[in-house]
Chains A and B, each alone.
Chain A
């Protein structure tokens, strides 16, 4: 795999592991209000400064990283599973099932994705599960379409014909022969999609539709602190950098996997 892809994977894992063990690294509670140290610039006591309630930005960023990365990765995996199931069903069964599944896919894809995610988020109580639901509900459709395309081209391949001639059931053909062929494509899509999900989750949090205060997420930190951008830019700079770096790493990882497996998305 390309060097950029390896570095990206290391960065993502590092950020996630650091966020899991954050109490060992930062001696501050992410939600603890400290009225003696309001809006402190970065220093040795607070590496990334503090916000307008005296909370340590680094502690909040690490805590938020746990939430953002978990949501993005979990939602990608769930979307892929739904997308593979729908795409396999549609591509392999064909006929009326194919028409119906693809009609639903076209319908989902005809909405501007972020607007639909907002529409879904507002009907449920805000929180991380609502965000995941919104991401999956919007994100599975493009997976399904790609997997269907892959299945359609593989269906006529000689090895599938051979498997059928040997008497494999449809279920066995799908599980043993077709799904393994779709795994590279799914991995590439997952990497690229997780990058997109990081951004969408941050966007929803920015709008107040993500995990609720005082829970820290990168998007909500930017949203809450943006009024202080001129006087205390660190309060906005650091969370945004984390979103950008994580999303860049997921995208580079996806691109590197794409080159390695030589698939087109």
Chain B
């Protein structure tokens, strides 16, 4: 985790250094005197060596300092901490839709391998990973908000506002969960312990639930963790379309105005959330699968 954090901050630092334009000019008003510019440059440490600048950057990050927006002059960290809970709410809502439905459909698909149900579910899951979220979001909005007028088209708020963006965001994750569940269930079905269970006369439902699904769920949990990245990726587009006041829309506004501290702040925070979720998944793994504990040292 620590080397990874060092690497991630190094990448965001390099991207920040590579940004066009001098950050000092972004902070001072027009027609500032050369002395003021020089003073700010000293404060930023722009006259020191790159290594010292990186050290300064990491120190600032450790204090929770991501710089100030070029346009509003508000602290990026303060803005992000306001918008972060909204994005998490959206991501969890999307996960609540994607995980159960994805596992269920993947299971049905595997149990009916080669039949019509499997073909239809497979085709839908390929479509799910191929349709861009900003388009499926617009279509859902057109249908449910603008034509049928069931739900509000945009805004941040309760469940009525949450439903459409969460559904949109869940589609790609849902589709890839279906694919992974299908493959792992097909693998587990062939295992000798399933044959044993069948041989000792267990009911087909009992085999499915206790033996197959329980074992198939283990890789699926990893994918649920990895899909968190796709929620963060998709959040930029989905939140923009539905006017959901989260990190994604904040990043989008930063992109339009070329507000670099905002963009880099969102990239860094998004990545830290992503690796934290995956670390959490690894820990959960450790508890639910005794094989990982035994083989952990070999990996």
Contacts and interface: CB of A to CB of B under 8 A. Distances in A.
Interface of A: 103, 106-107, 110-116, 118-120, 122-123, 125, 195, 199, 202-203, 206-209, 219, 222-223, 226, 229-230, 233, 236-237, 240, 243-244, 247-248, 250-252, 255
B18 A123 contact: yes
Contact of A236 (B138, B252, B270, B275): B138
Interface of B: 3-4, 7-8, 11-12, 15, 18-20, 126-127, 129-132, 134-135, 138-139, 141-142, 146-147, 229-230, 232-234, 236-237, 240-241, 251-252, 255-256, 258, 260, 263-264, 266-267, 270-271, 274-275
Contacts of A219: 132, 134
B76 to A, nearest CB: 14
B142 A248 contact: no
Nearest to B278: A110
A240 B132 CA distance: 8
Considering the complex of A and B, which 10 residue pairs feature the smallest CB-CB distances, nearest first? A114-B233, A240-B135, A247-B130, A112-B229, A248-B130, A107-B7, A112-B232, A119-B267, A230-B146, A244-B131
A248 B263 contact: no
Given A118-B263, A122-B260, 20 more contacts: A103-B7, A110-B274, A111-B8, A112-B233, A114-B232, A116-B271, A123-B20, A199-B130, A203-B132, A206-B132, A207-B236, A207-B240, A222-B134, A229-B141, A230-B146, A233-B142, A237-B139, A240-B131, A251-B126, A255-B126
11 contacts: A110-B7, A112-B229, A114-B233, A116-B267, A119-B12, A203-B237, A207-B255, A226-B241, A240-B138, A243-B131, A244-B132
Interface centre among A106, A110, A203, A247 (most CB of B within 10 A): A110
Given A110-B271, A115-B267, A123-B18, A209 B255 contact: yes
A112 B241 CA distance: 20
B138 A119 contact: no
B267 A118 contact: yes
Contacts of A247: 129-132
B138 A226 contact: yes
Contacts of B270: 112, 115
Interface centre among A111, A123, A195 (most CB of B within 10 A): A111
Contacts of A223: 134
B135 A119 contact: no
B126 A252 contact: yes
Contacts of B274: 110-112
B130 A251 contact: yes
A230 B263 contact: no
A202 B234 CA distance: 12
Nearest to B6: A107
Contacts of B267: 111, 115-116, 118-119
Given A207-B236, A208-B256, A111 B11 contact: yes
A119 B141 CA distance: 29
B138 A229 contact: yes
A244 B255 contact: no
Contact of B134 (A107, A206, A237): A206
A240 B139 contact: yes
Contacts of A203: 132, 134, 236-237
Given A244-B127, A244-B135, A251-B130, A120 B142 contact: no
A191 to B, nearest CB: 12
A205 B8 CA distance: 26
A111 B255 CA distance: 18
Nearest to B18: A123
Nearest to A255: B126
A207 B229 CA distance: 18
A115 B233 contact: yes
Interface centre among A115, A118, A255 (most CB of B within 10 A): A115
A230 B127 CA distance: 24
Given A206-B237, A226-B138, A247-B130, A115 B15 contact: no
Contacts of A123: 15, 18-20
A154 B256 CA distance: 48
A159 to B, nearest CB: 27
Contacts of A250: 130
B15 A114 contact: no
A243 B233 contact: no
A208 B256 CA distance: 7
Contact of A115 (B20, B139, B258, B271): B271
